[in-house]
Structures are given as structure tokens and as C-alpha cells.
Chains A and B, each alone.
Chain A
Amino acid sequence: MQVKNRATGTRVQRGAIREARMSDLVTPLLDRRKLVTGAVGLAAASALPRPALAQGAPLKVGFMLPYSGTYAKLGQFIDAGFRLYVDQKGGKLGGRAVTYVQLDDESKPENGTDNMNRLVSRDKVDVVVGTVHSGVAMAMVKVARDTNSLLIIPNAGANDATGPLCAPNIFRTSFSNWQPNFPMGKVMYDAGHRNVATITRRYAAGAEQMGGFKEGFTKAGGKVVEELTLPFPEVEFQALITRIATLKPDAVHCFFAGGGAVKFVKDYAAAGLAKSIPLYGSGFLTDGTLEAQGAAAEGIKTTLHYADDLDNPANKAFLAAFKAKVGQEGDIYAVQGFDSAALLDVGLTAAGGDVAARPKLISAMEGAKLDSPRGPLSFNRAHNPIQNVYLREVKNGRNAYVAVAQANVDDPARGCKLSA
């Protein structure tokens, strides 16, 4: 027992020594910078000591992304997209060289708070970019609010992050779950569908995605006749598919992603329903999963803030550059990573590369008008993107652009107290 205690004691001491050395390194810089820029107030006001580095020192970007598990590919593409933008700017953002800290969040919400604290308090990064999983992102949002750390969300769509939990220091470059689905309501109504069934998993993202659709569809004049759900991560759809066949709605709108999306699309086609009851979906249904879905996915129409073949110069340049650098076809996740860097660049440029000049940085980011590969991109009062949502159709294994479902879609940002 004693030995054990002594051992732990030593370990703690070692940690403390390392901590002390780190602060030795940081403090002189901090002092010098305080003198140089006079930003004493800001630096002192922030709850945690931040590595306010001299102008020449690199900017520390913390990636908190899933590098393993189901969402590993998404995390990898967001990371690669971000780095691509930085490389295109000569390795700099706002004139400052960039270094990265990578942290695998494993898409585990229970570790979200600790991981985020590690980046912010121990690694002392200047900005955190993350993550994919909404549950983890919500934990990150809470820490970011408590510590006033700059956070850019490059994927997670939880409505609340730019709703009741919105904050000046939190931006999102992806979407809210509501956003890609609301325009689908009018699209399906205009296609002649009046009675529609929805199907998704019973979790927050599913409810929010289908909620956005229901709002748009009801507003257009249609009726959602049944809202089917099944628990996460179950993939036995047969009972619910049989239920759809008995209900005979005009069409079905759904939200699934990853392995579940592949299985649902294939099961739906195998049950022969695709012919009589057309399947629509939130764009995630057919993003990154088309190869595995194969012929079963042909003809499925989805809405998303991106299409593989968007015909604009920014997208063409982006896809070519991404392919050259990474060796794979870029997708929406890579675009979201790319735009996260672009947004940060706008803010840092306005602030002269100084992260501590927070008001300047944030007001520049709020006013950013980006020429994104996805089309024009700006931000609303809650820091959620205002962007086009496109109608796409699966053709020859690609999400081919059909039309703009709705231009400049702005999330209602319900519950957000920030003013414009």
C-alpha cells in the first residue's frame, strides 16, 4: 500500500515539474507580449493563462476530431481540408505560421469535457477545431463557454450549439441539423407528394433533422403521416420497411449516415419499395456511402449544402488541389475543414495575427463573406452558416447537382441571445 502511494506521489510530482517548466517557458513570453501590445486587460481577463505568443511565434491550432472509430474518415478529411487551406496560404493564417495539436476524441461524449480541457488548459492552443459527433461537440461548447476559448465546429450539427448555447467565441462552418432538411419540405411538396412518412434513428440528431423537414413540409402544405424511429445503432430495418409498405405514403424522407445509411438504402430497394414509394433523404444518406450502396442508391434525391459536381470555380480548384495533396476525392467534410481555416484566416488577418485581440477577431469572422467551394458562405447572428442548400440526385454513383433547393438558408437560431 505504502509503495503504491509513494509511486503515485512520484508520478504527480513529475507532472507538477513538467507543468512548472512549461509555465517557465510561457511566462516570460507572456510578460514580454503584455509590454509589447498592451493587451494586459484582455490577457488578465481570460480565466486561464493563454500562451499569448509574440508575433513571430506560431499559431497553435488544436484539432479535436475523431481519428479512429466510425467517423475516422470524416475527421481525417476535416483535418486534411484545414491543412490544405493553410498550405495554400504558405503555411500561415493571418500572417502567422501554424502548428497543430491533434487529439482523437473517439466520438466519445463522456470524454469530451476532459479532452477539450486538455487542449485548452494543458496544450494551451489558440483555437480548437472540432468535432464530428454532436454529443462530443456539445461538451466542447460547454467548456468553450466556461473558458472563453475560441472554438470552430467543422461538422457537428446539434441545433443547440448555435441556438440556446451560442456564444461570441463559438463558430460553426458546417450546418445545423435543421438546415439541410427544411428546404426539402418544399421540394417534396412541389414534386407532388402530400402524405410523407419519415424514418430515422431515435436520437437528438435524428429528431432535429426530421424536425427541420417536418417544419418545411407542413409549411408548404404537406402532411407527415408517420414518424418512424429505431434505436441507435440498430440496423434491423425490416419491420419498419414492412410498416412503410402497409402505410403506402406518397414518399419517404429519411436521415441515416454511415453503415446504417448503406443498409437502409439497400434494404429499401431490396423490398421493392423504391419503385412505388420514392425515397428522399437528408444529404448525409448518400455522402461517403455511395460506393457501398451501389445501384440501390440510383435516383435517390437528397438535400445538402454541397454537391460533388458543383459548377463553380472555387469548388473545381478545391477538388483538384485536394486530390493532388491527399490523393482522394474531396467531399463536404473536407470542404468544412477548408472553410474553418478560411474563416479563421479572415479573423486573424483583421486582428493582425493576434488571437488576444478578440473583439476585432470575432467581428471580422462574423462579417466574413467566404467564396467557399460550396458557394457563397456567410454567418448569422448565432455564428451558424448562411448558405445555399442544393437538391442532388444520385447518378452513376455521384451526388449530382439538380437545382438550388433554397438559396441562402438561414437557421432560425432559436434560443440564441446574441444580437446581430
Chain B
Amino acid sequence: MDLVTFGVQLLNAVQYGLVLFLVASGLTLVFGILGVINLAHGAFYMLGAYTAFWLAAATGSFWIALVGGVAIAFVVGMLMEDVFVRRLYGRDHLAQVLLSFALILILDEVRLHLFGKDVHSVAPPDFLQGSIQLTDTLSYPVYRLAVCLFCLLVALAIFAVLRWTKIGMVVRAGAENREMVRALGISFDRVSRYVFAVGIALAALAGIVVAPISTVYPGMGDGMLILSFVVVVLGGIGSVAGAAIGALAVGLTDTFGKVFFPAFSSVSVYLVMALILLWRPNGILGRREV
């Protein structure tokens, strides 16, 4: 493999890793802060993509689809938290798995009735439609590069909010000790609702941003859900920075696994995950007791 090809494959790996991070970030927030295993995360990712397709087709604008899709997902997330998820705080993981699995089935049926079962594609915004020539035969779509940049910005935004804002402080404190936060007179219930809604909105956001490069189809969330869990567990549950590292690890492993060990490409990611967990059972940035 010459240097140019290596560079292109590295770009592929990083780009894939960043997309995985975007999908997994919502999951790690909800999992880490609220302690809720949300198996329906992939279903919201899929619904986000379908909503983007629908809004883009109806309005002709990718930006309206982006903003509208995220807003809808945020509102749906608030309602979900209010009706279902708040009953799960502190319950064991089995109850959460059951509820969110039911949500997968229900959301899939909702998708069937709202959008049908066809495969769709979404056009990226006009000014991102070109591509850059990398080698004599290969070019790279500008939109993919834009997605990389966008994912980095989202990562920074999440990090900054958690680190430097008051609400971020409350969220971190609540993740540590919910009762103590309540005792200090802060309504953590409301914060919980926002956190869950943000998690859902991030899933939908990922679906929308990825829609132009991934196409929109039933079941698109299933594979992503599993990879997201790999990313979250690898990085350390609840750690946003860990999720970023985990996502890059998965992206690199998958891409170079396909290039160098094609026969093992279906298991390479999981092999690396097993090895890393042997080395650090709580994930790369995971704290000791989770």
C-alpha cells in the first residue's frame, strides 16, 4: 500500500469513526447520566433519517430538514421521557431493555405507516455536492468532509456544555449522586427530561446528517445500534471523550481490517473490543465502579 492510498484509507477510517461518534454520543449521554439503556436509540436514528427525507422532499431544503428533524426529535424525546422513561430510573436494566425493545418494534411500525418501506435518498445541500480529486481515479465527496467537520463541532459542543456551563455542572453532579442534587434544591427531574430529549435529538441528528451518504432504509438503525454500544462500552460508559476515542478505534479497526484482513472483517471490531476490555474492563476512560 503506497502512502497516498494509506492516507485515503486513514481518511475513510477517521470519517467513519466521527460518524459513529455522532450516533453514539446520544447513547452515552443517556446511558451514563440517566443510567438508562436505550435500545431504541437506533430506531430514533432511523426515524431521524426518514424525517429528513420527508422534510427535504416537502420543502426542498436540507437545512429545514436538519433543523425541523432535530426539533421534532427533541419534542418526541421529552414526551417519551415523561410517559415512559422516567418510570425506569433506578429500575434494573432488564426493565429498561424490555421497554426500549418494545419501543424499537413500535417505532418501526410507526415508520412503516408514516413513510412506507421503500429505500430513499436525500440530496446534500448544493454547495456541498462537489467532490475533490484525490488520485487519478479516486475522488472524495465534499459532503463527507463536511460531515467530519460537523461531527467534530458537535463533539466540542457537547464537551463544552458539560464542562463549562451551569446545566452541565448539574448534569455531571446528578450522574454522580441524584439524591444529593435534589437535596440541594435542584429539580433533577427536569434536567433528566432534557438530557433524554437531547439524547434522542442527537440520534435523530446523526440520522439526518448521515442520510445523504448512507441512504435511508428500514433497519438502518439496527447495525448502528450495535456499533454504538461497542463505541460506548469501549470508551467507558457515560464518558463523551471516551466515546470519541472508542469511535475512532472502531473506525480504524473496521477500515484497516477490511483492507488487510478481509476474511475477518466481520469480527475484527469485536476482537479489538474484547482485547481492550481485557486490558481495561470499564472501557478506555471508564471509571472503576459503574
Is residue B258 contacting chain A, with contact meaning CB distance below 8 A? yes
Is residue B125 contacting chain A, with contact meaning CB distance below 8 A? no
Output the least CB separation between B80 and chain A (Å). 23
Q: How many residues of A contact B (CB 8 A)?
A: 41
A238 & B255 in contact (Cβ 8 Å cutoff): yes
Mark out the residues of chain A between 337 and 371 whose CB falls within 8 Å of any chain B CB in the assembled complex.
Answer: none
Interface residues on B, range: 35 or more
B9 & A262 in contact (Cβ 8 Å cutoff): no
Which chain A residues lie closer than 8 Å to B9 at the CB level?
A: 239, 242
A272 & B258 in contact (Cβ 8 Å cutoff): no
Contacts A259-B119, A292-B119; A239 near B258 (Cβ below 8 A): yes
Is residue B223 contacting chain A, with contact meaning CB distance below 8 A? yes
Docked complex Cα distance between A262 and B259 (Å) = 22
Q: Which residue of A lies closest to B254 (CB)?
A: A236
Which chain A residues lie closer than 8 Å to B1 at the CB level?
A: 246
B131 & A292 in contact (Cβ 8 Å cutoff): no
Q: Mark A29-73, 1 if CB is under 8 A from B, else 0.
A: 000000000000000000000000000000000000000111011
Which chain B residues lie closer than 8 Å to A263 at the CB level?
A: 214-215
A277 & B262 in contact (Cβ 8 Å cutoff): no
A258 & B16 in contact (Cβ 8 Å cutoff): no
Q: Which residue of B lies closest to A72 (CB)?
A: B117
Q: A229 contacts which of B133, B255, B262 (Cβ < 8 Å)?
A: B262
A236 & B16 in contact (Cβ 8 Å cutoff): yes
Mark out the residues of chain B between 124 and 170 whose CB falls within 8 Å of any chain A CB in the assembled complex.
Answer: 131, 133, 135-141, 144
Docked complex Cα distance between A293 and B121 (Å) = 7
A69 & B219 in contact (Cβ 8 Å cutoff): yes
Which chain A residues lie closer than 8 Å to B262 at the CB level?
A: 228-229
Mark out the residues of chain B between 204 and 226 whose CB falls within 8 Å of any chain A CB in the assembled complex.
Answer: 213-220, 222-223
Docked complex Cα distance between A266 and B210 (Å) = 13
Q: Which residue of B lies closest to A261 (CB)?
A: B119
Which chain B residues lie closer than 8 Å to A28 at the CB level?
A: none
Is residue B178 contacting chain A, with contact meaning CB distance below 8 A? no
Q: B214 contacts which of A73, A235, A291 (Cβ < 8 Å)?
A: A235
Output the least CB separation between B77 and chain A (Å). 25
Is residue B282 contacting chain A, with contact meaning CB distance below 8 A? no
A266 & B215 in contact (Cβ 8 Å cutoff): yes
Q: Which residue of A lies closest to B212 (CB)?
A: A266
B138 & A273 in contact (Cβ 8 Å cutoff): yes
Mark out the residues of chain A between 194 and 240 whose CB falls within 8 Å of any chain B CB in the assembled complex.
Answer: 202, 228-231, 233-236, 238-240
Output the least CB separation between A307 and chain B (Å). 20
Is residue A243 contacting chain B, with contact meaning CB distance below 8 A? yes
Contacts A233-B219, A242-B138; A73 near B8 (Cβ below 8 A): no
Docked complex Cα distance between A240 and B137 (Å) = 14
A238 & B16 in contact (Cβ 8 Å cutoff): yes
Output the least CB separation between B50 and chain A (Å). 12
Q: B138 contacts which of A233, A245, A259 (Cβ < 8 Å)?
A: A245
B119 & A289 in contact (Cβ 8 Å cutoff): yes
A266 & B121 in contact (Cβ 8 Å cutoff): yes
Which chain B residues lie closer than 8 Å to A230 at the CB level?
A: 258, 265
A231 & B265 in contact (Cβ 8 Å cutoff): yes
Which chain B residues lie closer than 8 Å to A293 at the CB level?
A: 121
Contacts A229-B262, A263-B215; A73 near B255 (Cβ below 8 A): no
Q: Top 4 nearest A-B pairs by Cβ distance?
A: A259-B217, A231-B266, A272-B139, A245-B138
Binding site for B on A (CB under 8 A): 68-70, 72-73, 202, 228-231, 233-236, 238-243, 245-246, 248, 258-259, 262-263, 266-267, 270-273, 276-277, 288-289, 291-294
Q: List 13 A-B contacts (CB under 8 A).
A: A233-B222, A234-B223, A234-B266, A238-B12, A239-B13, A240-B258, A243-B258, A258-B119, A270-B139, A271-B138, A272-B138, A292-B118, A293-B121
